[in-house]
Chains A and B, each alone.
Chain A
Amino acid sequence: MKQKSKLWSSILLGACIISTGLCSGCGSSEEEILMGRYAEREVKLPGTAFTYMHPMADGSYYLYGDEVALTQVSADGESGESVWSWENNSDIHIKNSFAVSDSGAVIFGYTPKFYSDEEYEEFAEDGEYRYLYYYVDETGKENQLALYGSDYETAENLEYFAFAPDGRLYAASSSMVYRIHAENGEAESLFHTNGQVNEFAFLGDTMIALDHEKAYLYDTAGDKLLEDNSVLNEFVTSHQITGKSIVLAVAEENKDMTKVSDTGTINTDGSDDKTAGADSDGDGSDSPILYFGCRTGLYRYIWGGSVIEQIADGRLLSFGNSQYKPLAMQALSGGEFRVLFSGGHMVELYYDETLPARPSKELTVYSLEENGRIRYAGQLFQQEHPDVIVNYETGMDGDSAVSKEDALKNLNTRLLAGEGPDVIVLDGVDMEQYAEKGVLKPLDDFIAPYAEEGTLYQNIAEGMRMTEEEKIYGIPMTVYLPIWLSEKQYLEGEKSLNDIVAGMERARTDHPEGPLLFTPYPQDLLNQMIPACLPAWTDENGDLNVEKLTEFYTAMERLWELDSAGLDEAAREKWQQDVAEVHEIEDDRDMLMATLGQYEDHQDIGEAWAQFGCLLNSWYDLKNVSATKDIFANGWNSKKTEDEIMFSKYAGQAENVYWARTVTGLCEQAKEPELAEEFLTLLLSDRIADKWWLEGQWYGGITIRKDSLEKAMDQNNHEFAEVRGWDAAAISMMYSDSQWFSEADKQWLYQMMEEADCRYLSGTMLEEVVKEAGLQVLEGSLTPEEGAAEVARRMEIEMQE
């Protein structure tokens, strides 16, 4: 018996030792600091408008841009020689495509400007409205090419040209790659493509052409399409994000490359790359190498190999900056590269052995959902801190199955394990709970200098102060202001929620037919009314104020009744369908946003007498409230309209509410606290605050920087200042210029900003419960009192937890 228990305990002990040994063994192996990585130096160009580069075998290159002459630049970049220029003498065409050969022959194309249908008819009759292609040979002899189907209807737009090293010319339309015979102007179809080919490279007799999803390999000597290379295809699919985002360069036989990469491989893609490096050693020395440059970095592919290895991390180079799009790349001797980016930005990448392979410092920025403003700031920060790697993480990516709760659980796991991010964007996160648990760092000291200088709307920052600890833990970058829009007579004397109801009663008496509010679905009404009311429902202790909530439900019930009084069920359903149909054009996600009334851009159908919403931006984003009747009938600019229809600050149950957006906080456990503060400083600087439109993405909200807001208001940019909406029959989109902001209007907005001191944060538990019960109230299955009681009951469990 004794022996047995001894045995048993020794086995347990053994298991313990093995397990702890395993744990500590793996944990303690310290990584060696690898030295060496690619860095870049900027190349000064004789202009900024260069959009095309053609590399030559000797290291020199041609540069060309729409406004600039074709320039031949020597390998050292010292001397540039203007070779050729072309004046555009057609006012209905714009320059489109361009290519130059090693010997200096040039091809370029014009594409017609887009005109209205009538104008097109006119031009088409004249035969002027078509693509034009010109070829200029080495001697400077110009020749218009009558390429296959050059008239507008049947021709394909050849958007990309490329000269092969042997001087032959290739071109790509949106679905075909051609060989162009410049001598007789013939276009020979080579192969079909699924998308627009936008980058060519030539490796001996093999042409590599990339479209949005794959790499086409074509044998130019044997004139046949080669078998797909799945390694290349996979790379293209995952890295060709929007339009042209990959550039190629070729090194036929370059032994320097392998030397460099053996030490310089940055392993961000995980262990795959290590094995890749090993297996490429064998055949690496004489196989040609194909280089890929894209947003995530520089990659190499040893021709015929099975992997594409990353050799430089894009985040540390211009590649990672979304401001720059790569246009062309050239592999130089000694493992260097020359890359031309949009905006006339050209850099040379060189391998610096004195830099650590990966910056030792890392700044981690976390947000629950993708935030363009943060992403942009991260890139900017990265460019300015080459010794830091900026890591922007999002908890939920688009369509994936990760719910908000799952994402938060993962974040909390990291926080509890002491491995949290440095900067947290608190949108959708329970800021108060995080502050209470000591996750967030008080920002009082941080914003004190701002308060002194009066840079920010201090009232908004103050509005973020927690009731209990009396400290500020998060600061919004922008805010939305709740407003509403209606005819003046219904707006007068608006002070409270009940006044709004009274105003709508008057409106209903005047206009018995049609909808009153722009709320096809009941949830739209709730969504639009909640922001300015929610802060009033809890008292200082966080307890629910049931009377206020009952009052809210009573008002909502009445508003819904009033709205529905002019709209029978069939009409409402028709309306809902119209909304859904228009949104079907947009992608599904947007539709969801719109039906949930997220104040995105898509609410512009239908007609109503009043509309609630949030002022999304300082000076042009009024489209949100564009659907109101009469705006289009009378024209937005007419004095009459301005007198009759007005905006008003929407005072719900709470006053001076602002909807805080991109609320950012610093983590108490940040590993790089100084960098985190610096990042927040950058976020609050005018360099970010002045930006509202980047890469086709809209960064909504009114900035809380006073100077940036004033600057935006003074920028009377008519191109943007438009009001958009659908005509009454919802058939076509209408635009009208807006000069909404008079001096008085500006003051009105400034005043509203000055007064805003009551924060509203969306997506709280309370809001969700109120919406759920609210739908039942509007549906009639609960009375307002019952609805409020239901909310109280639900929230009770939450409070007790």
Chain B
Amino acid sequence: MKCRNNPNGIHRNRGKRHGRNSIAENRRLLFLLPGLTGVMIFYLLPFLEVVRRSFVKAGNNSFVGLDNYKAVLHNAAFRLAVRNTALYIVLGVPLLMGISLVLALLLRRITARRKLLSALLLPMAVPAAVMVLVLQLLVDKHGLLNGVISELLSRTAGMSAFYGIDYLNSDGALAVVLCSFLWKNTGYMVILWLAGLSALPRDVEEAAEVDGANRWQRWQYITMPELSGSFFTIGMLSVLHIFKSYREVWMVAGSYPQENIYFLQHLLQNWYLKLEFDQMAVLTVLLSGILLIVCLFLQKHLEQGKEA
């Protein structure tokens, strides 16, 4: 295995050129400045406003300290939403990453992958409203899925009295949401995996193959470490899309869906409709705190794990 990055080397080099360092540094950060300014205006300032509002009572704007936090943490709906969202992430992210990685690895071996990729990406391009329409037709109590099942049952088992399942109102609602999430996002993630895999040095892989390393060994020692950065990116994007899938869930199941698919965004949205912005702000601050910690942790272990 080869050490591709050398942070110490960079330091050494920098040390050498200390004289002209500051100008170069200045120039370097000019790359960041325009973007950073915009991010400050359109994202960071708004975010700080959210933080401010989390300590303030909605309506009369009086400072209430941590009262809003207490209220939120004692809220049963909040706990339900956290539990569901966590479960959704814990199930959804690994599933999505796993399935898409397998597909990406398989696709890599296929020469005619281009059309397949288009096919995989299609669901992503379907407008949410139509996606919901399709979903509804499929999983409705009188929908196509139940129709197929009842047909199968009557043909094979001779059962004629199949009562359609109202999937979105059953305990399996989360599974439906998960399936539609996977359906929509797999292609997207495959693209990202492929982008990550494209940097994989094939000569090394081939050399290892010649050396008699088996598939698993090659995966463990060559592919995995190379992909660890992609793991981070794709993991984060999966979380992003978990959050984004909310709109479809809401369109198909409403503001108060079956309790297993009542997510944080349902809560956020309902609070917004009830003008409870203080509670929303608290939730956002808590959420971003957790996300930041997770993100830094993963960054450290995945990004730098690769470099070490």
Contacts and interface: CB of A to CB of B under 8 A. Distances in A.
Contacts of A409: 269, 272-273
Contacts of A744: none
Nearest to A18: B37
Interface of A: 3-4, 7-8, 11-12, 14-16, 18-19, 22-23, 401, 405, 408-409, 412, 415-416, 430, 433-434, 437-439, 765, 768-769, 776, 781, 793-795, 797-798, 800-801
B25 A433 contact: no
Nearest 4 CB-CB pairings of A with B: A800-B77, A800-B76, A437-B275, A19-B41
27 contacts: A3-B21, A4-B25, A7-B26, A14-B33, A18-B37, A19-B40, A22-B41, A405-B250, A405-B255, A409-B269, A409-B273, A415-B275, A416-B275, A433-B274, A433-B275, A437-B59, A437-B276, A765-B255, A781-B166, A794-B256, A798-B270, A800-B76, A800-B77, A801-B267, A801-B270, A801-B271, A801-B274
Given A7-B29, A16-B40, A801-B276, 20 more contacts: A3-B22, A4-B25, A7-B26, A8-B29, A11-B33, A15-B33, A15-B37, A18-B37, A19-B37, A22-B41, A401-B129, A430-B273, A433-B275, A765-B256, A781-B163, A793-B259, A800-B75, A800-B80, A801-B267, A801-B274
A801 B269 contact: no
Most chain-A CB neighbours within 10 Å: which of B129, B163, B250, B272? Answer: B272
B36 interface: yes
Contacts of B270: 798, 801
Given A3-B21, A416-B275, A765-B256, A797 B33 contact: no
A629 to B, nearest CB: 32
Chain B interface residue number, banded: 35 or more
Contacts of B58: 416, 437
Nearest to B250: A405
Interface string B26-69: 10010011001100110001000000000000111000000000
Contacts of B77: 797, 800-801
Q: Is the interface of A mostly helix, strand, loop or mixed?
A: helix
Contact of A11 (B32, B45, B250, B277): B32
B88 interface: no
B262 interface: yes
Nearest to A416: B277
Contacts of A798: 256, 270
A405 B269 contact: yes
B22 A11 contact: no
Contacts of B32: 11
B253 to A, nearest CB: 11
Contacts of A801: 75, 77, 267, 270-271, 274, 276
B90 to A, nearest CB: 22
Contacts of B273: 405, 408-409, 412, 430
Contact of A7 (B22, B40, B45): B22
Contacts of B271: 801
Contacts of B80: 797, 800
A794 B29 CA distance: 53
Contacts of B166: 776, 781
A113 to B, nearest CB: 49
Contacts of B262: 797
A15 B59 contact: no
A434 B275 contact: yes
Contacts of B33: 11, 14-15
Contacts of B36: 11-12, 15
Interface string B221-232: 000000000000
Contact of A797 (B250, B256, B269): B256
Nearest to B28: A7
Contact of A15 (B22, B40, B277): B40
Contacts of A776: 166
Contacts of A401: 129
A22 B41 CA distance: 9
